Amino acid sequence: MKPRIALVGGLDASAESLLDCRADLVRVQDWSEASLAAAVEDCDALIVRTFVPVTRRVLEGAKRLRVVGVAGVGTDRIDTRVAADRGVAVLNMADAASDAVAEFTIALMLGLLRPVSRLMGEYQAGRFERARKTPHGVELRELTVGILGLGRIGSRVARICSAGFGARVLFHDIVDKSELPFTARTCGLQELLTSSDMLTLHVPLDESTRGLLNAPRLAQMKSSARLINTARGEVVSTAALTEALSAGRLAGAALDVIDPEPLPAEHPLFALPNCILTPHVAARSVGGLQRMSEIAGRVLKFLGG
């Protein structure tokens, strides 16, 4: 008898074809709590994207559920305590998109430092000579890059910034890091905030990181500093960041994630020239999505033995 698997958010075509062949596949379109709970009530497995909340209600109502597979890195939307209490395994694809997110982080850094889109607009508007009159940005090699969280993604960003661009790299992590294959110095959180010209966040979302960059901590940063967030939106206070950018107490920010998500179109951040906003796409390279979709095979293997 085929296992019954609920799928929320979709995978690539080959992964969905595999599930269609090997399982009784239930595609869930409405992932509100009530609808998801009803859909998985008689399922053996649930596969979700990282944006789908799997709550206590969903887990407790799923009588046959053995495993939740996350097609991505973060499991912060899963009530892992309830899952553990009920003997439900939680699988994710921890390293599927590390390179994609690291490269996107670098792209955001360069986007803040060198205003390519604005210069293209100036050129197209016929202001060629005016656009050339002043310097446009600074080089990454001139800056101190601070990395909060030196895990899979953070270490890749550190290596690119240090070895690739020649930037000075500082990092703060709760886990001791030694014998790094690149040049970087560990420091406390306060030094990271006060010394970084470019601060990039690569921490998971949990109770220790939720709201970590609040108004007092943002106030410790240089007014010339820039902030990158490709981790989780809830790590940064959106209200405090908006105020800091608007008041000129922070030079710029580039955010692929934000709280709330999606941000309302009328939010003042969209009107700020020193803020880049992208719609949570850092992990969504072709290769990244393919690797995340490999969760289908992992879930089938788990159910099979």
Q: Is 267 a catalytic residue?
A: no
Radius of gyration in angstroms for the set of CA atoms belonging to the chain, rounded to a whole number: 21
Which of 172, 232, 234, 291 does the annotation list as catalytic?
232
Which of 66, 86, 152, 280 does the annotation list as catalytic?
280
pTM, rounded to two decimals: 0.91
Question: Which of 122, 77, 119, 70 lies closest to 96, judged by CA?
Answer: 70
**Domain 4-96+287-303 grouped into CATH 3.40.50.720:** yes
pLDDT of 176 reads 86
Question: Residues 231, 273, 234, CA angle at the centre, nearest 5°?
Answer: 25
pLDDT of 134 reads 83
pLDDT of 220 reads 98
How far is it, in rounded angstroms, from Cα 189 to Cα 195? 10
Query: Which residues in the chain show pLDDT less than 50?
Result: none
Q: Is 41 a catalytic residue?
A: no
pLDDT of 47 reads 98
pLDDT of 137 reads 87
Which of 33, 41, 122, 261 does the annotation list as catalytic?
261
pLDDT of 1 reads 85
Are the C-beta atoms of 30 and 53 separated by less than 8 Å?
no
Of 3.30.230.10, 3.40.50.2300, 2.40.50.140, 3.40.50.720, the CATH number of 98-277 is 3.40.50.720
Torsion angles phi and psi, residue 135, rounded to 5: -65, 150
Are the C-beta atoms of 83 and 59 separated by less than 8 Å?
yes
pLDDT of 117 reads 87
Q: Is 56 helix (H, G, I), strand (E, B) or coil?
A: helix
The one-letter amino acid code at 230 reads T
The token duo for 192 is: 């990271």
CB atoms near residue 84 (< 10 Å): 11
pLDDT of 7 reads 97
Q: Is 202 a catalytic residue?
A: no
Residue range(s) occupied by CATH 3.40.50.720 in the chain: 4-96+287-303, 98-277
Are the C-beta atoms of 69 and 91 separated by less than 8 Å?
yes
How far is it, in rounded angstroms, from Cα 7 to Cα 24? 11
Tokens 């996350």 found at: 70
